[in-house]
Amino acid sequence: MSNRIQIFDTTLRDGEQVPGCQLSTDEKIVVARKLEELGVDVIEAGFPISSPGDFLSVVELSKAVNVGVCALTRSKKEDIDVAAEALHHAKRGRIHTGIGSSDVHIKTKFNSTREKVLEQAVWATGYAKAKGYEVEFFAEDAGRADLAFLAKLVESVIAAGADVVNIPDTTGYCLPHLYGKRIAYLFEHVKNIHKATISVHCHNDLGLATANTIAGLMNGARQAEVTINGIGERAGNTSLEEVAMIIQTHKDLEMTTGINSKKLYELSTLVSEMMRMPVQPNKAIVGANAFAHSSGIHQDGFLKNSENYEIINPADVGVPSSSIILTARSGRAALKHRLELLGYQPSKPELDQLYDHFLIVADEKKNVVDDDLITLVANTPLLVQK
Ligand code: KIV
Ligand code: ZN
């Protein structure tokens, strides 16, 4: 089995389902081109039957990029017909069709039975395959589905022509070791599993989306479905930047992706601005504080050797540099460092004097910025500017 992980980006479909985050087709084209530059393998561009806007977006994105373009459908003829039409210009088109696989979905969403769902899934896969595109089947709510039934469903849709089978943890319910076991179970019990790529699509309701995705990959899945900044329904989807950097950082996983990590920060900022969806400051990889050090002990250790407190070089994800934030918790080492960046070279007594004044300012303000330091220096007669 190849260890190259396919990155399937669904920022423009699952991510865009977030209230208030809708983008125009032109904006989607901008994001899609950037996703292509970033190195994703497939872009899920929309759900064509859901609205004329989504249909148009799939048409235009299919023209705009050379990577795979995917269109979502339910297991319904009209959905698949419309998706196939929207993908006409795609260099590599993919129809993503599927149906609920857990008993709760089967009974209370479809008022149906496992047998009927299986039949519908096989029919939809075959119908989509006959359109001449790649076919990905999603077993919605697979995280809560009966495992033996899930295995039967997966085997049947692969036999019907599915190239990729998506095992979503739609509700973000699974624990990582159990989600990993689900994927392992499928590899053990589905006879034709090696004819398809198994994909993982995890939601973040319990904050476990990234952990579950990695568990799925460690157990044989070879496609990860992700979004920029982890945006998506409710608590979001798995974050692309987290999966990419886990794989890049943990060489022991022996996996690779096509992602150029140096472009991650730029794309995160673009998506956040376009969708008017701020990134939480402590968000891994791309949050404003991901490379900021503010306590004295950390700052001192970081200034001696960045590896004391950083496992990723910020330049590797396109963040210009780490930052030393000056607060009342900061020590002399951090103050000296920031003064040096401003061009000052205080002697030991000067630094001591400045530090006393600095602590007074820092107690008043949460964050001491460059302007405060310049004022501090101006009020410290001993200091000689270089
Ligand atoms: O979370 C989910 O199950 C989905 C499917 C439509 C793939 O987004
Ligand atoms: Zn989803």
- 102 C-alpha to ligand 2 centroid (Å): 15
Ligand 1, atom 1: closest residue by C-alpha: 170
Q: How far apart are CA 217 and CA 28, in angstroms?
A: 28
The answer on pLDDT for 383 being more than 60 is no
Q: Which atom of ligand 1 is nearest to the CA of 168?
A: 3
Tell whether ligand 1 has an atom less than 6 A from the beta carbon of residue 236: no
Short-list 196, 197, 74, 68, CA closest to 133: 68
DSSP letter assigned to residue 344: B
Short-list 78, 171, 164, 165, CA closest to 127: 78
Rounded mean pLDDT, 259-284: 97
For 81, counting Cβ atoms within 10 Å of its Cβ (0-12 exposed, 13-18 middle, 19+ buried), the class is middle
Give the amino acid at 19.
Answer: P
- Residues 15-24 have pLDDT tens digits of 998 989 999 9
Tell whether ligand 1 has an atom less than 6 A from the beta carbon of residue 105: no
At 68, which helix (H) or strand (E)? strand 68-74
Task: Dig out the tokens for 127 from the structure.
Answer: 């119908």
Percent of the chain with pLDDT over 70: 98
| Domain assignments of the chain as residue spans, ordered by start | 6-274, 292-378
Q: Which atom of ligand 1 is nearest to the CA of 140?
A: 3
- Which CATH number describes the domain made up of 6-274? 3.20.20.70
The per-residue b/e assignment along 235-256, b for 16 or more CB within 10 angstroms, e otherwise, is ebbbbbbbbbbbbbeeeeeebe
Please identify every residue whose CB atom is under 5 Å from ligand 2, which is an ion: 14
Domain 292-378 fold is: Recoverin; domain 1 (1.10.238)
Tell whether ligand 1 has an atom less than 6 A from the beta carbon of residue 201: yes
- Residues 46-56 have pLDDT tens digits of 999 999 999 99
Q: What is the pTM of this model?
A: 0.95
- Residues 144-172 have pLDDT tens digits of 999 999 999 999 999 999 999 999 999 99
In a mutational test of the pocket of ligand 1, which residue from 18, 47, 70, 138 has the highest number of ligand atoms less than 8 Å from its CB? 138
